[in-house]
Amino acid sequence: MSSELKKAIDQISKDRGIDKDLLIDTLEEAVRSSVARKYGDAMDIEVNYNEDAGEIEVYQFKVVAAEVEDEISEIPLEEAQAHDPNVQIDDEMGFKLKIEDLGRIAAQSAKQVIIQRMRDAEQEIIYDEYKSRMNEIVSGIIQRRDRSGWIINLGRTEAVLPKNEQIPRERYKRGDRVQAFIIDVQKEARGPQITVSRSHPDYMTALFKREVPEVDDATVKIMGVARDPGLRAKVAVNSTDRDVDPVGACVGIRGSRIQNIVQELRGERIDIVVWSQDIAMYAQNALSPAVITRIAVDEEEKNLEVVVPDDQLTVAIGRKGQNVKLASRLLGWKIDVFTESRYGEMNAASKGMDQLASVAEIPLDNFISAGFETVSQIAGASEEILLTISGMTSSKVSDMKSAIMLLGIGDDEPESDENQDIEEEVVTEAVEAVEADDEALSEEESEDDTVKTVETEEESAEHSTKDEEIESGENETPETE
C-alpha cells in the first residue's frame, strides 16, 4: 500500500506537471480535513508524509491529567504511565492513529479534497505559464463559437478570440489551426481566462520578431505600428547598426520575410517606414508613396500641414483616407494635407493679415477673435468696428489704412460689396449696349433682306416675261408660200 501511494504521487506529479511537494501538502491537508470531520476540530493532530515509508502518518496529541474531563484532548495519568512510566501531569503525549479507521465518509471527503486541490494546483500552474507568455504568439485549433467569440484549444487550456480582436472579413471553421497574440490572462473560478488577438498592433511586432532575426536581436527596432487590420499597415523601423538597412532586413531576399507576415495576415498590405527623429522627415516617410512639396510643423499643437502637388493629393490621402489616417496614427500627430494651389490661395489670404498685424503691433489671433479673417474685411470696416479688436487704437487704425493703400495688400482678394455692385452695373450697361447693337444690326440685315427680296421678285417677273415670249415664238408656225 505504501509503495502504491508513492508511485501514485510520482506519476501524478509527472503527468500533470504538479510539484511533488505541493501534491504531498494537498494529501496531508485532505487527511487532516477527514480527521476533523470524524472527530471534530477539538482533536489536536499532526499529519506528515513519511517519504521513506511512503505513507501518510497521523498523530493525536493528548494532555496528561489527574481527572479527565475531555477524552478527546486528555488522557488519565495511569493510562499515560502505561505507555511511558516517566510521564507526569500536564505532559503532552502523541499517539499514532490508523488512517484505515477514518471511515468511508471521511475517506470520500479526503478524495474530494485531493481532487479539488490537484485541479486548483493545475489551474495555478497554467495561469502562471500563460501569464509569463503575455505578448507572445500561440497556436491552437478552432474548437467552437460562443457569444464572446471563437474558442481556441491551446492543448492544456482554452483561449477566446473576441469578435473585436478578429481581422475583419476573416472566416473560420471548426478544426482550423490559427495563430494569435496573447493580450490578457485573468484568474477566474473556472480557471485562467486567456484572451488572444489577431488585430492588435503588437501582433505584427511579434511576427516581425519571429521572421526577422535583426528585429529579434534588437539590431532593428520596431518604433511604431499602425494597422487597419486586414487591409493595410505601416511599420516604422530604425537600425542601431549603420551597416544594417532596416527596410532591407525586414523585407528579406526577394521579399521572403515580409511575404510570410503578409500571408499570415491574409494579404494585409504592409508599408515599412524608416523612422526619423525629425518629425518632418518622419512624416514624409510615413506618407510614402506620395511626393511631398513642403511640411509646416506646429510643435505646440502637434499638427502638420503637408503640401503636395495637385496630382498627388489622391495618393497622399489614400483610399478612403487610409494612407493619411495610418500615417497620423503612426506619428501621433494630426496631419492636414493641402494641394499646392489650395495652399497658395490660403497663404495669399493670410499674408496680408500678417502684415497688418505687424503694422498694428497686435497679435493676429486678436483679429481672428474679432471676426476679421481677410484684409478686405478690415478695409471695409469702420473705425468704430475696428476699435473692438483687442489692443486696437485710433492711431493704429490709421496706420493700417495707410498700409493698405501704400502697400497695396489685399488687392488680389475678393472686392468689397460696394465695388462688386459698381462692377455689376458696368457689366450690365455693357451687356445692354451690346444687345442694342445686336438689335440695330439685326434691323439693318432685315432691311437688306427686304430689298433683296423685292429685287428678286422683279428679276423673277422679268425672267418670267422673257420665258413667255420665247415660248410664244416657238409655238408660232411659219407661213408657207
Per-residue pLDDT tens over the stretch 51-90:
777 777 888 888 888 888 777 778 888 888 888 888 888 8
Q: What's the rounded Cα separation, in Å, for the pair 128 and 196? A: 16
For domain 2-127, give the CATH number. 3.30.1480.10
Which pLDDT value is given to residue 442? Answer: 44
Average pLDDT value over all residues in the chain: 78
Place of cell 520575410: 257
Percent of the chain with pLDDT over 70: 78
CB 235 within 8 A of CB 250: yes
Options 3.40.50.300, 3.10.450.200, 2.40.50.140, 3.30.1330.10; CATH for 133-197 is 2.40.50.140
Q: Which amino acid does the sequence have at 331? A: L
CATH of domain 201-341: 3.30.300.20
Range among 8-17, 136-145, 447-456, 459-468 rated most confident = 136-145
Binning pLDDT at 50, 70 and 90, where does residue 183 land?
A: very high
Beta bridge partners of 262: none
The confidence score (pLDDT) of residue 470 equals 36
Domains 2-127 and 201-341 share a fold: no
| % of the chain exceeding 90 in pLDDT | 35
What pLDDT sits at residue 99? 65
Q: Which residue has the higher pLDDT, 436 or 369?
A: 369
For the chain, what is the largest distance between any 2 Cα atoms, rounded to a whole number of angstroms?
204
**Sequence ranges of the domains in the chain:** 2-127, 133-197, 201-341
Please report the pLDDT score of residue 303 as a whole number: 93
Mean pLDDT of 380-390: 86
pLDDT band, very low/low/confident/very high, at 3 (cuts 50, 70, 90): low
* Partners of 47 in beta bridges: 58
User: Is the model's pTM score more than 0.75?
Assistant: no
At 264, list the grid cell: 499570415
User: Is the predicted pLDDT of residue 14 greater than 50, yes or no?
Assistant: yes
Would the pLDDT of 448 be above 60? no
The interaxial angle of helices 104-131 and 2-16, nearest 10 deg, is 30
Better-scored residue on pLDDT, 384 or 356: 384
pLDDT tens column, 426-447: 334 433 443 444 444 444 444 4
